[in-house]
Structure 1
Amino acid sequence: MPAPALVWFRRDLRDHDHAALGAAIASGAPVHCAFVFDTDILDALPERRDRRLEFILGSLRELDAALRQRGGGLLVRHGRAVDEIPALARQLGVGAVFANRDYEPAAKQRDTTVERRLAEQGIRFHACRDQAIFDCDTLLTGAGRPYTVFTPYRNAWLKRLTAADHAPIDCRGRLAPSPENALPGLAELGFLPTNLGELGIQPGMSGARALWDEFRTSRLARYGQLRDFPAVKGVSYLSVHLRFGTLSIRELVTAALAEGADSWLNELIWRDFYFMILDRFPHAVDGAFKPEYDAIRWDDWPAGLAAWQQGRTGYPLVDAAMRQLNHSGWMHNRLRMVAASFLCKDLGVDWRLGEKYFADHLNDFDLSANNGGWQWASSSGCDAQPYFRIFNPVTQSEKFDPQGRFIRRYLPELARVPDKYIHAPWRMGHLEQEAIGTVIGRDYPAPIVDHAAAREKTLARYAVVRKTG
């Protein structure tokens, strides 16, 4: 009988179609399963209320129950993962540790440290590809370099794809017995309850399955037509489940191909693309992907940043988006672009401050996509929109929330504003404002900046990039 194996769960909280679990079972060794509440991560969180931690706890309860039905269970530790995993591996006498690959620089450093400490004990470390269809240097340009433009990357991705790349991974088999190991509660981890339950967010594999089944049968085929309208139920709402791996990317790709859902498949390919960019170009975590954009001088405007964070800019679509984020930990993707563009190119505030705010508040925060999205909006990233492309928050509102339904949902103070003014309520006459009980500057803020003037200022700000080029 070979020495036992240990599967280290991280952002892959399911017991099916799981690369590390499948590889461990295929090795023929008895398989133990573990999760670490990593204090290197938890101690860095800005608030003691965090929906993501509550989501993880709910998902772990379901995962533990599923593993116990197969004779195993989840061994849970609370501490530094770089200490806990080598110690647990030594305690269990394992010959190998299996984990799914992570692409964030801090995670890669953690895994390198764990691998070294395991090697000192004669234990192998296997990193498996799971959260991406293609990763590392699988897809390269003709010059042998990583892609930095999405369309050629997508074309290479589609050309390389075979059925085997998105086939489900067999994870059947009994697991090594695990002692009863009660999961800690929020209080034991030093955290407080959130409104996750009130929001109706169901964690775990069952939550993912319910959302996925509903999206696949009712909206997947129409995703391309519905995806840009925040007042419409058009997107999948699966992002937090993809972030924590309660369902498999391979299953989603298989369905997108079967349905001919090209717009949806494109989004999944973007996800791989941003993983690859983060993995191959880690300098983008702290600075511009295009270094010349680090020469831009941003405004130091704490009041402007605070107004944006609180949804008090005077631009209804931007404010509604930010209030949605603050209330729910989620924001519609179209609005993420609008809100990010507004902070960088209307307020002139450093994109990194917006990126951090999203990182602190998004349930589905993923460093690769968040960084990629913010650098796209600020024009400093790979394949980003040109610096002179500046979203107009009013025309974006008119186009994507034409009746103001989304705006009114999150800005009740504008409920009585007529449709023709809902996108720019400051255009109402004062008598009309008084008549409906919504006075701009009293009941709702006046615009914090004039968009046309801000646009000219932004073009001048970005002139330094033109000169450098």
Structure 2
Amino acid sequence: MGAMTKAADRPAILWFRNDLRLADHAALYAAVETGRPVLPVFILDDAASGAWKPGGAARWWLHHSLAALGQALEGLDARLVLRRGDSVAVLSGLVGESGAADVFTGGMADPWARRIDQAAAEALGSQGARLHRMRTTTLFNPESIRTKAGGAYGVYTPFANACLALGGPKPPLPAPRSLRAAARDSERLGDWDLLPAKPDWAAGLRAAWTPGEHGALERAEAFLRHGLGAYPAARDRPADDGTSMLSPHLHFGEISVVQLWHMAQRGPGGKGRELLIRELLWREFCANLLWHHPILPDAPLKPAFAAMPWRDDPAGLAAWQQGRTGVPIVDAGMRQLWRIGWMHNRVRMIVGSFLVKHLLIPWQQGEAWFWDTLVDADLANNAGNWQWVAGCGADASPWFRIFNPVLQGRKFDPEGDYVRRWVPELARLEARHIHAPWEAPRPVLSQAGITLGQTYPEPVVDLGAGRERALTAFRRIRSEA
């Protein structure tokens, strides 16, 4: 009887990753179902992800998301154990300390995370324990969405249709009402230095976001109640804040994509719901691409683009990063990104196209900047979308599609409200000139308090010349392919 009691008290380790929530958490659910005490743990393993360790904005979010998760677990009389170091070594140590026979975790598409999973499974197996890898971050198992020939999809629309043909994901799992918890020593979150030191650049992030599961559910419910009906038109107007802004909550798993899918089914329906589901499936498509193409963050999926004659332009890159290109819609987007760690999706396409096409700067440099500054920096989404913009990825934007930022601004920010918000130097300029101030007569600029080259930059590139330079480069690699 004593031996049976001892075995029943061996904890099940719950290894949180990009799934920092209690509801619809397959690994948490399975751990609770064992009937054993549950030991929740999060491991900060910067070395494992190499160049793709979380950037500054994401680390700010991670700190607050872990704090929120810790508070939620305390409500169940459990404690989140924080450990920093090599994931495999930490898990092996916890198994040795606690006698755990099972480690439950959510799977990730990131190549470095998959390598850790394999190493952890082997190490734990040698200790007589098992790693249970479960789906917590995507709608479907990436191996379950295959072409009729058995291969991976490389085009979005057939992929999305294959997902829809499955009838949607199963209903989300409930959060546990109680938790039989195990306890171990934990490191202090504040000692991890995830928050910015002086200068404190996170004021805009604090004003814009509420990390954590509660904040995620509040934002989702508000959007579905008040924003979904207007979503088809508002999602392309950056001044309207017409998108869900759920991407960071989804990345950190504070709400599951399955939850959001099913919450949308209860909404008003119509075109808004259809478009939201398609956006969720684009996210799924990017995760699927990364699963099947681990090179996605580093190398073009279309081999011909390896020979692209990119320019080494540190000054142009710095102007783009700082929102000082002299092209208002580009500068507005880049300043929004720096201020709140997020940028409107339509503007992401515009600033991405400007960097890789008008400036002919490698897409990887834009990807790296976004990685450091986005609160929703997600390896699959970031890489997949940058390759799409550059025309070198799966189902990418055609190589000859070069967004004209002036026309894009006039179409999607016709009154210039978005530019005025983020580029206050131009606030007094009338709408017909605000997206191309270099075209405005000098008296008009003077009346608005603008001196080009002084109060606001001259454009770093002539848009027509930049476009022709990009087309010439694309034709060259196309002819040599």
Task: Give the structure-2-normalised TM-score.
Answer: 0.92
Pick closer, same or farther for the CA change 1:44–1:452 going to 2, 3 Å: closer
CA distance in 2: counterparts of 1:178 and 1:393, whole angstroms: 55
Pick closer, same or farther for the CA change 1:302–1:223 going to 2, 3 Å: same
SS in 1 for 2:82: strand
Counterpart pick for 2:44 among 15, 37, 43: 37
How far apart are 1:119 and its partner, in Å? 1.2
Counterpart position of 2:190 = 185
Counterpart pick for 1:13 among 9, 17, 20: 20
What letter is aligned with 1:15?
L
Counterpart position of 1:215 = 223
Q: Work out whether residues 49 and 112 of structure 2, in 8 Å CA contact, stay in contact via their aligned partners in 1.
A: no
Counterpart pick for 1:272 among 284, 289, 314: 284
Alignment of 1:127-142 (within 5 A): 127-142=133-148
Alignment of 1:68-87 (within 5 A): 68-87=74-93
Q: Which has the higher mean CA deviation after the structures are superposed, 112-121 or 37-46?
A: 37-46
% identity of equivalent residues: 39
How far apart are 1:429 and its partner, in Å? 1.6
1:467 and 2:479 matched: yes
Counterpart position of 1:293 = 305
1:440 and 2:452 matched: yes
Q: Any unmatched runs of 5+ in structure 2?
A: 1-6
How far apart are 1:10 and its partner, in Å? 1.0
Pick closer, same or farther for the CA change 1:356–1:197 going to 2, 3 Å: closer
How far apart are 1:186 and its partner, in Å? 5.3
SS in 2 for 1:127: strand
CA distance in 2: counterparts of 1:189 and 1:226, whole angstroms: 34
Q: Which has the higher mean CA deviation after the structures are superposed, 137-146 or 169-178?
A: 169-178
How far apart are 1:173 and its partner, in Å? 4.0
What letter is aligned with 2:183?
S
Q: Which runs of 4+ in 1 moved over 4 A?
A: 41-47, 179-182, 186-191
SS in 2 for 1:177: coil
CA distance in 2: counterparts of 1:443 and 1:54, whole angstroms: 32
Q: Work out whether residues 146 and 280 of structure 1, in 8 Å CA contact, stay in contact via their aligned partners in 2.
A: yes
Q: Work out whether residues 135 and 275 of structure 1, in 8 Å CA contact, stay in contact via their aligned partners in 2.
A: no
Pick closer, same or farther for the CA change 1:210–1:424 going to 2, 3 Å: same
> What is the Cα-based RMSD across aligned positions, in Å?
2.1
CA distance in 2: counterparts of 1:276 and 1:179, whole angstroms: 36
How far apart are 1:367 and its partner, in Å? 0.7
How far apart are 1:415 and its partner, in Å? 1.1
How far apart are 1:221 and its partner, in Å? 2.6
How far apart are 1:464 and its partner, in Å? 3.0
1:415 and 2:427 matched: yes
What letter is aligned with 1:296?
M
Counterpart position of 2:211 = 203
Counterpart position of 1:232 = 240
Alignment of 1:49-88 (within 5 A): 50-88=56-94
How far apart are 1:54 and its partner, in Å? 2.8
Alignment of 1:311-330 (within 5 A): 311-330=323-342
How far apart are 1:455 and its partner, in Å? 1.2
Deviations 1:7-47 (A, max 9, x none): 00011111121011011122333221111122326986899
SS in 2 for 1:300: coil
Counterpart position of 1:25 = 32
Q: Any unmatched runs of 5+ in structure 1?
A: none
Q: Work out whether residues 19 and 169 of structure 1, in 8 Å CA contact, stay in contact via their aligned partners in 2.
A: no
Counterpart position of 2:295 = 283
SS in 2 for 1:36: strand
How far apart are 1:179 and its partner, in Å? 5.2
Counterpart pick for 2:180 among 175, 185, 189: 175
CA distance in 2: counterparts of 1:191 and 1:433, whole angstroms: 38
Counterpart position of 1:91 = 97
Q: Work out whether residues 60 and 196 of structure 2, in 8 Å CA contact, stay in contact via their aligned partners in 1.
A: no
Counterpart pick for 1:343 among 349, 355, 363: 355
Deviations 1:30-81 (A, max 9, x none): 221111122326986899x933223222222222222233232211112222
What letter is aligned with 1:106?
W
SS in 2 for 1:228: coil
Deviations 1:182-241 (A, max 9, x none): 632156568525326642411111211221121111002321221011100211111111
Q: Work out whether residues 63 and 194 of structure 2, in 8 Å CA contact, stay in contact via their aligned partners in 1.
A: no
CA distance in 1: counterparts of 2:172 and 2:205, whole angstroms: 34
What letter is aligned with 2:416?
G
The count of residues paired between Structure 1 and Structure 2 equals 467
Q: Work out whether residues 345 and 455 of structure 1, in 8 Å CA contact, stay in contact via their aligned partners in 2.
A: yes
CA distance in 1: counterparts of 2:370 and 2:332, whole angstroms: 15
Counterpart position of 2:466 = 454
Pick closer, same or farther for the CA change 1:347–1:44 going to 2, 3 Å: closer
SS in 1 for 2:189: coil
Deviations 1:338-389 (A, max 9, x none): 0000001100111111111101110100010000110000000101111111
SS in 2 for 1:185: helix
1:386 and 2:398 matched: yes
CA distance in 2: counterparts of 1:250 and 1:13, whole angstroms: 14
Pick closer, same or farther for the CA change 1:44–1:463 going to 2, 3 Å: closer
1:397 and 2:385 matched: no
SS in 2 for 1:89: helix
